[in-house]
Chains A and B, each alone.
Chain A
Amino acid sequence: MSAHTGFSFHGGDTLLHRLDVRIKLLALAAVGMVSLHAGPVGIALLLLSLWALSRRFSLSLKSVDRELRFFLLLLGVVLLSRALFTPGRILWSAGPLAFTIEGIRDGLLVCSRLTAVVWCGWLFVASTAPGALRTAVHGLFRPIPGIPHQRLSTMIMLTIRLLPLVLDEARATADAQRARGVENRKNPLYRMVRLAVPMLRRSFRRADQLAEAMEARGYTENRRVAIPALTPADAAAAFAVAVFCLTVMLLGS
């Protein structure tokens, strides 16, 4: 379940937890874009800042272990292919394989950029409660005409709410079918249909019940979602992020 993996919300009271989610969402977009074009100095600065922000998370690397391993593997592949296939001065060669200095430098830069983007994403997810994300989307899209922000935020809310249920049901259905020997059937299509049909039936039933409950609890499209006002700290953070992004860009690419 996603609740037990590293790449999910971790309660806490750090600077990042307290920041308004709208600011965080915009900052994530800005920093993500800047970091993809940042030069070596800029990216070093960015990674340092990320490290400083992360220190407050009392989270051991162990809990990110599995995702981290996959990510490190990806970085390794990127670094290796850059080092091998970028032309330049040869640092070390063995037969047809040649590592170039430019290649290694380039590979390290790309890896740092990827790391920075993933790190930003992780910090965002880890410091943002799912409910706050819904409110933020509501708040960001409300001023834009033509976007049904009410429906959008309700949809986000229900998705976050129902995802674990659907996963659990899928698991229960699959278990029940395994107990009855479905694995003896070799045809994967047969097994998929056998799993999908009861799943769909249950999902529709659940959707019906949910709609009824929402009606009983007085659901309207004009619901008042409490959107927190931006604090001076939020404004300061937005300013800091903007200055930071500019600095990283000016440090060259």
Chain B
Amino acid sequence: MKPETNPTDAMITCDRLTHRFHDGSVGICEVDLSVSEGELVIFAGANGSGKSTLLRHFNGLLLPTAGEVRIAGKPVREDLRWVRQFVAMVFQDPESQIVGETVWADAAFGPENLGFSGEKIRQRVQEALDAVGLTAKADQRPHTLSGGEKRRLAVAGILTTNPSVVMFDEPFSGLDYPGVCQVMEQIRRLRAQGRTLLVSTHELAPVLPLADRLVVLDAGRIVRNAAPVDSLQDLESLGVRTPCPACFGRDG
């Protein structure tokens, strides 16, 4: 596990971050948080506890109504283009994330936006599809992929722009067991590459053994923020299923 670093060189810092939606409802409230480089942090909590709202602040899809978010020391709102290259996101519904008409075209979307040369795009896409094992399906339409394959394609799309932080919003929702295994394989690989990973989920079991930290949200506030061992008590009352002890602590 990584030691707690000084907040000034943290990868992500939230300072009394609050988001109020247009309709007046509060998404997240006074969140203080610091994530250091290479950490894997799980964000748990019941539906509507504010997990997605919080993650959307880290790549500037939402901007704070109060407080501040800094990525690698820079306030998010100062350079949205840079932030979106630096912090990538795999959405809850991978179907909605895929924009390309073929697997290849989708993986190429990111580098095309960055204005890379044709040769560089081709090379990046090839590497990314190889990494997630979708090379054989490069010409297929994304629509015909399985749930696990769609999330792998989303990961490939992210790899092409080489982000330092990768966020997964509910990566296991709607997946069967092989699908969950496929996603976990990608998470393990990204972690081995030293990227900072943020995973929002109410399904702790698969990813908990890898986690450095477990943050629990309830009604938009952080109610737990510690190493997984210390965060696990009484989770059920916060709407998160406590994983069986056997699942926990194998290779964490």
Contacts and interface: CB of A to CB of B under 8 A. Distances in A.
Does chain A bind chain B?
A: yes
Interface of A: 3, 11, 129-131, 134, 157-158, 160-161, 164-165, 168, 206, 209-210, 212-220, 222-228
A155 B88 CA distance: 24
B141 A3 contact: yes
A227 B112 CA distance: 11
A111 B81 CA distance: 56
Interface string B114-152: 111110011000000000000000010111100000000
Contact of A223 (B89, B102, B113, B122): B113
Most buried by B among A158, A168, A216, A224: A216
Contact of A217 (B84, B93, B102): B84
Nearest to A154: B99
Interface residues of B, number: 38
Most buried by A among B98, B99, B115: B99
Contacts of A160: 101
B61 interface: yes
Interface of B: 59, 61, 81, 84-85, 88-89, 91, 93, 95-102, 104-105, 108-110, 112-118, 121-122, 139, 141-144, 157, 161
A209 B96 contact: yes
Mostly helix, strand, loop or mixed at chain A's interface? helix
Given A130-B141, A215-B61, A218-B85, 15 more contacts: A130-B101, A131-B101, A131-B104, A157-B99, A161-B99, A209-B93, A209-B96, A213-B97, A217-B88, A217-B109, A219-B113, A223-B113, A223-B115, A226-B108, A228-B118
A215 B88 CA distance: 11
Contacts of A214: 99, 109
Contact of A218 (B93, B114, B139): B114
Most buried by A among B96, B108, B114: B96
A11 to B, nearest CB: 6
The 7 closest A-B pairs by CB, nearest first: A226-B118, A209-B96, A160-B101, A131-B105, A213-B97, A218-B113, A224-B115
